[in-house]
Amino acid sequence: MVYQGSCHCGQIGFEVEGDIEHVIECNCSICSKRGSLLWFVPRQQLRLLTPEQNLSTYTFHTGRIKHRFCARCGIHTFGEGTDPSGRAMAAINARCLEGIDWSRVSTKHFDGRSL
């Protein structure tokens, strides 16, 4: 399955390959404020359809996660980082994807605030 994703204004477009089994609702300081539901995939399953320069980047705390968002419409599209084994990962904001049947996707709560 290939999902199409974008920010609100379309300045950032991307596609993600894979099957969504569940999304993560995290209570950390940034996830709780932006209300994202995250789908974690290996970075190579994410393909940008718009120029890299259209991405704005926000980092905080350790700076290990690059939070990518659109500076025009303000929508957070995905984050980039590495998993504990060093593999490049992307945390897709599943709210930005087209065609998700939310009645079939379960939500797992993650206590990111306690990390």
| Gap between the Cα atoms of 47 and 74, Å rounded | 20
- In the complex with Zn ion, the residue whose CB is nearer, 22 or 50, is 50
Q: Based on C-alpha coordinates, what's the Rg of the chain?
A: 13
CB of 102 to Zn ion, least distance (A): 22
| Gap between the Cα atoms of 95 and 93, Å rounded | 5
Give phi and psi for 31, each to the nearest 5. Answer: -65, -40
| Gap between the Cα atoms of 101 and 86, Å rounded | 32
Q: Which of residues 34-73 bind Zn ion (CB under 5 A)?
A: 70, 72-73
Bridge partner list, 22: 106
- In the complex with Zn ion, the residue whose CB is nearer, 10 or 42, is 10
Site string for Zn ion, 68-107 (x = CB under 5 A): --x-xx----------------------------------
Q: What is the tally of helices (H) and strands (E) in the chain?
A: 1, 10
Q: Which of residues 10-39 bind Zn ion (CB under 5 A)?
A: 11
CB of 34 to Zn ion, least distance (A): 14
CB of 54 to Zn ion, least distance (A): 8
CB of 32 to Zn ion, least distance (A): 22
Residues of the shown chain interacting with Zn ion in the complex, contacts defined by CB under 5 A:
7, 9, 11, 70, 72-73
